[in-house]
Amino acid sequence: MINGVKGVMLILTFLALGEVVSHFIYNFIPGNVIGMVLLFMALQFKVVNPHSVEYISLFLVRNMALFFVPAGVGLMVSYRLLGEHWLSITLATVLSTFLVIATVGHIQQKFGKK
């Protein structure tokens, strides 16, 4: 029980710390991404015991797609913004996404270590 609370506490604390750092760098990098880096470093330097955040972390990352549902539903009102340029926006998005996946995937597959 106490460990469950500890995990939630740690994740929220790192998120809050990330938000603070983000504020001081003029939000150049968002707080949650900084929180991710800070948690990674804290685990790496053994400031935080991995076991204490394991359960909550796995719960959060395995259900990440669910947390995007509200943002996705936002499309029902914002699709009108696409306006007269919807065709160029759609084509640019589809082709560019494909090209980014191809570039990143192939370079990593070719030059990275397995």
Residues numbered 34-53 forming contacts with another protein, rule: CB under 8 A:
35-40, 43-44, 50, 53
Work out whether 88 is an interface residue with another protein (CB under 8 A): yes
Nearer to another protein, 2 or 69 (CB): 69
- Cβ atoms within 10 Å, residue 19: 15
Question: Which residue, chain included where needed, has tokens 């740690």?
Answer: 10
**Span 58-87, contacts to another protein by CB under 8 A:** 58, 60-79, 81-82, 85, 87
- In the complex, the smallest distance separating the C-beta of residue 24 from another protein, rounded to whole angstroms, is 15
- In the complex, the smallest distance separating the C-beta of residue 106 from another protein, rounded to whole angstroms, is 7
Work out whether 20 is an interface residue with another protein (CB under 8 A): no
Token pair of 46, please? Answer: 């053994």
Residue 53 to residue 64: CA distance in whole angstroms: 16
Contact criterion met (CB below 8 Å) for 15 and 35 = yes
